[in-house]
Amino acid sequence: MDPTFDPPGVHSYLTKLTGPAVSAGSLGPVDAVLISHDQHPGNLDDDGRRMALAAPLVLTHPGAASRLGPPAVGVPPWQSHDVPGGPGSLAVRAVPAVHGPADGQRDASGHINCEVTGFVLSGPGLPTVYLSGNNASMSAVKDVADRVGEIDIAVLFAGRRACRPRNAGGH
């Protein structure tokens, strides 16, 4: 999810402080990539974008899918996309996320900072996994827990800053 593989250094309006833990090439075959949002290089950088678009499937929100193009598929909140393979299928459900504080500046579509999504992964015999995406809203997390039910594993993007804005106007 949200692949970033650029080396440390200046990238757009951010200075990346550390490199990736592993290279994109060392991952081996990738069946699908999940992208919470495509508009910030701290979540999808140049090398991450190349890696994602080389995969057979990218799941993201509808706005990002329209910007990224194939193989990206936009999944609206609370809708699911089945990923075939292995002994069964994996259901990937898009869930709401909010990219900033509740009182943050909204864009023309009403999203705070930009449109963003989280995901819930589930399938027969598999644990239910919640990936919050780049989310800053505890009410969104509660909404997911209330609607999904039992979640076996939650990966909450609390983050440690791996990038810093190049100037006061950066993200």
Q: What is the pLDDT of residue 48?
A: 92
For the chain, what percent of residues have pLDDT higher than 70?
Answer: 81
User: What strands, in cross-sheet order, belong to the sheet with 33-34?
Assistant: 33-34, 58-60, 72-74
- In a domain, residue 1? The reply is no
- Any domain includes 105: yes
Task: Confirm whether 143 is domain-assigned.
Answer: yes
Q: What is the mean pLDDT of residues 26-35?
A: 93
- Domain holding 80: CATH number? 3.60.15.10
Q: Is 75 exposed, middle or buried (0-12, 13-18, 19+ CB in 10 A)?
A: buried
**Total tally of structural domains belonging to the chain:** 1
What is the C-alpha to C-alpha distance for residues 117 and 135, in angstroms, rounded to an integer? 8
Domain that holds residue 145: 9-165
User: Average pLDDT, stretch 86-97?
Assistant: 86
Given a cut of 50, whether residue 168 has pLDDT beyond it is no
Backbone φ and ψ of 27, nearest 5°: -75, -25
Residue 110 has pLDDT above 70, yes or no: no
Give the type of residue at 105: Q
Has residue 3 been placed in a domain? no
Contact between residue 163 and residue 17 where contact means Cβ atoms under 8 Å apart: yes
Kindly state whether residue 102 falls inside one of the protein's structural domains. yes
Residue 41, domain member (yes or no): yes
